[in-house]
Chains A and B, each alone.
Chain A
Amino acid sequence: MRKKNLTAYVFLLPSLCGVLLFYLLPFADVVRRSFLTAVTKEFCGFDNYRAVFHNEAFLLASKNTARFCLFCLPILLGLGLFVAVLLDGYCRGKTFLSAYLLPMAIPSATVVLVWKMVFARQGILNACLGDFAALLGKNCVFEIDYMDTGAAFWVLVASYIWKNLGYTVTLWLAGLLSVPAEQKEAARVDGAGSRQVFWRVVFPQLLPNLYTITVLSFLNAFKVFREAYLVAGSYPHESMYMLQHLFNNWFVNLSLDKMAAAAVVTGGVMITGILLLQRLWEKE
């Protein structure tokens, strides 16, 4: 046994050293710093935490981030499942799936200009909406400024879905394909309609996948900052000012004490969330 221990650690060593050096030890240092003042490095108890929780930008950013996840996760998971079921039921080929995955390969920076053209006040989306209204015989002028009003939030949701739909569909498909065909067939023979087969037989077996799909989609939700930052800069419309913007701005302004406390709080909330979800899921 001891020899096996040793072999395992030999394999693990390079990675473990790096993880300790670049992630775990420095994070411990951040926890320590969150209790110190920024300049004099004196112990100041929970002052930094108090400052963070009274910081309006932090409250706004947390609210927006939570709101974003609350909207985009159900939309993405629901839409993804719907598309996956259609793909599984009607299109055995992989052609469409590749098209859905394509946005994943597109570097955020390359579509910035397209985003700007589409979502500008005089942009393509408004032009298309106007054309569509004209087609219906109505004469409307669309002058929605997507980036500088509350609509910015929905642009963000849309760009998240654009980027991640293929990922989620692939995950759901993997789950769908693991449901044995005989079970579906048996239910059908017993007289269940296709809807009943789905909700009674297939869906319950997808639930275990729900945990990983949620967690992975949540992880990707934070990367939407790339599009948001590149299109709208450090201080976008307040409806899409997220925790990522805040961390970035604090970093630029060197508010390291607040950053330390906020990193501990955000990290703590996320770790708790992940562990809770995992508990829930292991009970299933």
Chain B
Amino acid sequence: MQAAPGMDGEAVEKMRRRMKRGMAVVVLAALAVLLCLPVAMLLFGSVTGDYEMWERLLPMTPAGNGYVRWRWIPEFPDFSRYANLLFATPQFFVLFWNSVKITGLILAGQLLAAVPAAWAFARYDFWMKKALFAVYVILMLLPFQVTMLSQYLVLDRFGFLDTHWAVVLPAVFSTFPVFLLYRSFLTIPESLLEAARMDGAGEGYLFWRIGLPLAEGGIWSAVVLNFLECWNLIEQPLAFLKEQSLWPLSLYLPQIGLERAGFAMTASVVTLVPALLVFGFGKEYLEQGISAAGTKG
């Protein structure tokens, strides 16, 4: 950059830094807008009248020509679909409750199994600890497809196929929450536990009264991360639930045809709301949870 006459080097330097900062902010903001665009489209689309939406999407049908043109503000806004969906569509409610039930059971089960296990890995030395932990980490990293057949075999043997347990039980014993919670239990100083032991506290007391309260943040992180994961389950219900009335919302939505695009968008938004609420309230925990998994322990 050329120095303007009458400006000293320091002022030029300052201006350059300002411009750089401005450019960085613009780039970051543009990226943020781009990433949030699909959600905005959903929200606006969900209140666009059925006919208007259909007209808009006409070019996508085999007979159509021209291009789909997106307009943010609908000419004929229509909020009645929300009322319809929430109060007059019992089938939708069945699926919504399926999602709630599956997610709730998985999260509860994960807490019961994973929290004590993480405590054991973080605070005790025991026979085979290193090998077992390695197995847990590997299981956490294997994609569903690799363990799909083995899960199927076991679920089939116990007769869990085509019940919600087929989706819930394997997810309960997913090792990812163990890993996350392990990280947060590790941060508790050993001296604290030793001191409590000196005072005669039992191991159960240490876990219940010191471990759990101090790792509360980590526990919430695991809950938030896993909620988002469970609310979005596709592969497992697709493989293990043939009966459509057992399906969670995440499988049902894509089946709504293009001619009911407006309805599909409304249903999508209703599905989205719980996830957005958890995201909104749990953002901090989400960030903590992600960074906890990433930093070297």
Binding site for B on A (CB under 8 A): 4-5, 7-9, 11-12, 14-16, 18-19, 21-27, 29-30, 83, 86-87, 89-91, 94-118, 120, 122-124, 126-127, 130, 162, 165-167, 170-171, 173-175, 178, 208-209, 212-213, 215-216, 218-219, 222-223, 225-226, 229-231, 243-244, 247-248, 251, 256, 259-260, 263, 266-267, 270-271, 274
Given the complex of chains A and B, what is the CA–CA distance between A162 and B295 in angstroms? 23
User: Among the interface residues A99, A116, A166, which one has the most CB atoms of the partner chain B within 10 A?
Assistant: A99
Smallest CB–CB gap between A165 and chain B, Å?
7
Smallest CB–CB gap between A81 and chain B, Å?
13
Given the complex of chains A and B, what is the CA–CA distance between A84 and B203 in angstroms? 42
Report yes or no: B291 in contact with A267, Cβ–Cβ below 8 A: no
Report yes or no: B68 in contact with A109, Cβ–Cβ below 8 A: no
Q: Which residues of A contact B70 (CB under 8 A)?
A: 117, 124
Report yes or no: A251 in contact with B148, Cβ–Cβ below 8 A: yes
Across the interface, A171 reaches (CB within 8 A) one of B154, B249, B294, namely B294
The 5 closest A-B pairs by CB, nearest first: A18-B173, A174-B291, A15-B117, A26-B150, A222-B143
Q: Which residue of chain A is the closest to B158 with respect to CB atoms?
A: A21
Given the complex of chains A and B, what is the CA–CA distance between A257 and B120 in angstroms? 38
Smallest CB–CB gap between B17 and chain A, Å?
10
A100-B235 contact in complex given A9-B120, A109-B249, A219-B141, C-beta closer than 8 Å = no
Smallest CB–CB gap between B282 and chain A, Å?
9
* Interface residue SS majority, chain B: helix
Q: Which residues of B contact A117 (CB under 8 A)?
A: 41, 57, 60, 68, 70
Given the complex of chains A and B, what is the CA–CA distance between A172 and B146 in angstroms? 29
- Given A15-B116, A124-B69, 19 extra CB contacts under 8 A: A7-B203, A14-B116, A15-B114, A15-B175, A23-B151, A24-B135, A90-B25, A102-B36, A103-B38, A110-B42, A110-B253, A117-B60, A118-B38, A122-B60, A173-B291, A219-B141, A222-B145, A225-B234, A243-B145
Q: Name the interface size band of chain B.
A: 35 or more
Smallest CB–CB gap between A267 and chain B, Å?
4
Report yes or no: A83 in contact with B268, Cβ–Cβ below 8 A: no
Cβ contacts B71-100/A at 8 Å (1 or 0 each): 000000000000000000000000000000
Binding site for A on B (CB under 8 A): 20-21, 24-25, 27-29, 31-33, 35-36, 38-39, 41-42, 45, 57, 59-60, 64-70, 112-114, 116-117, 119-121, 124-127, 129, 132, 135-154, 169-170, 172-173, 175, 178, 203, 207, 228, 231-232, 234-235, 238-239, 249-254, 256, 258, 261, 264-265, 268-269, 271-272, 275-276, 278-279, 283, 286-287, 290-291, 293-296
